[in-house]
Amino acid sequence: MKSKNRAIDIALHIATGLVIITSIVLWIFILTSDQRFSGLNQSTDTDTTHVKNSKSIKDAYLPTEVFGYRNNQLYQLYDSDKNLPLVFSKEFNNAKIERIKPIFITKKDYQKFLANKAYLQLTYPDQITFGIFSSNVSKYKNSEFNRIFIAQKDGKFKLYAGNDLNHRIYEVSLKNGNFDKLLKYAQKSESKTAVSLIRLSEGYEVSYKNDLTVNVYSYLISNPSDSYFVSRLLGTSGVSSKTAGNVTTYTAGLYNHLEVPKSNSKDYHNYTYINTRGAS
């Protein structure tokens, strides 16, 4: 009997020891796992921060309108396939501003510049500063402009920045400035609208020479059958129908009527439900 109890005690001690050893192993594993996952999360956070910071603030500033002369007429240019403002932004941001030089500040000279048929013009919706695009222009980093003039002469690209409010023009010298794609796409833009520029107190506004016409698009997501609306509004029993011209009238009893145009009529989908109950 004593030997049996002794065997049980030994077995209990062994089991207890195994439990303690297993607990220690699991505790060590959990600690090391937390460190590994912590390092993984830290690495992921670092990578995410790097991706977020890879975008420059200048990428957020895009012109909203593009203008160019053709046959002595100023046109507003648009191309749904080639996003002209985005093309300009990419080419401009690939260049480096080396020098900014003020040209003139008179209203008369500024308007001559606006009428110069050699330049493609791009406008921003508001005044912006050179400091957004370069840290190498400390003297003019706070100088404002809202209009860009671009032309190519003798194989070289000329870029000027203009301020519609105070009529200042700045010559911008660029390193690696290339606007070949922009000028080519603008020349072949699919849409052009004849405009003129009108001087107002807050700058120059666009005046359209002709009435604007825009395409109207209609998108039909689903097209339930007529029976769907008939059953919903009139029920499924005791319903009669009568067609007159392009309209089919469904009737349930004396008071409920539903008028449905034919599918080939211009009023298709314009259903008319009539309930004459209580009418005198």
Secondary structure (DSSP) of the chain: -HHHHHHHHHHHHHHHHHHHHHHHHHHHHHHHHHHHHHHHHHHHHHHHHHHHHTS-GGGG----EEEEEETTEEEEEE-SSS-HHHHHHHHHHHSEEEEEEEEE--HHHHHHHHT-TT-EEEEEEEEEEGGGT-SS-TTTTT-EEEEEEEEEETTEEEEEEEETTTTEEEEEEEES---HHHHHHHHT-SEEEEEEEEEETTEEEEEESS---------------HHHHHHHHH-SSSEEEEEETTEEEEEETTTEEEEEE-TTSTTTT--EEEE-TT--
Distance CA 226, CA 216 (A): 26
**Inter-residue contact 179 to 152 (CB < 8 Å):** yes
pTM of the model: 0.58
Distance CA 198, CA 111 (A): 11
Distance CA 17, CA 62 (A): 72
Task: Please give the structure tokens belonging to residue 9.
Answer: 């005690």
Give pLDDT, residue 80.
Answer: 82
Average pLDDT in the 90-117 region? 90
Residue with tokens 């160019």: 68
- Whether 278 shows a pLDDT value over 80: the answer reads no
Higher-pLDDT residue of 116, 276: 116
Higher-pLDDT residue of 271, 178: 178
Where residue 241 falls among pLDDT bands split at 50, 70, 90? confident
**CA dihedral of residues 144, 145, 151, 157 (deg, nearest 10):** 30
* Dihedral class, residue 65 (left if φ above 0, else alpha if ψ from -120 to 50, else beta): beta
Give pLDDT, residue 145.
Answer: 94
pLDDT, mean over the chain: 80
Nearest by Cα to 85 from 118, 125, 113, 50: 125
- Least confident range from 71-75, 146-150, 271-275: namely 271-275
Higher-pLDDT residue of 35, 242: 242
- Whether 263 shows a pLDDT value over 50: the answer reads yes
Using one digit for the tens of pLDDT, what is the confidence trace for 14-64?
Answer: 777 776 777 777 777 676 655 544 554 444 444 444 444 556 677 778 899
Using one digit for the tens of pLDDT, what is the confidence trace for 207-225?
Answer: 988 876 766 666 555 666 7
Where residue 194 falls among pLDDT bands split at 50, 70, 90? very high
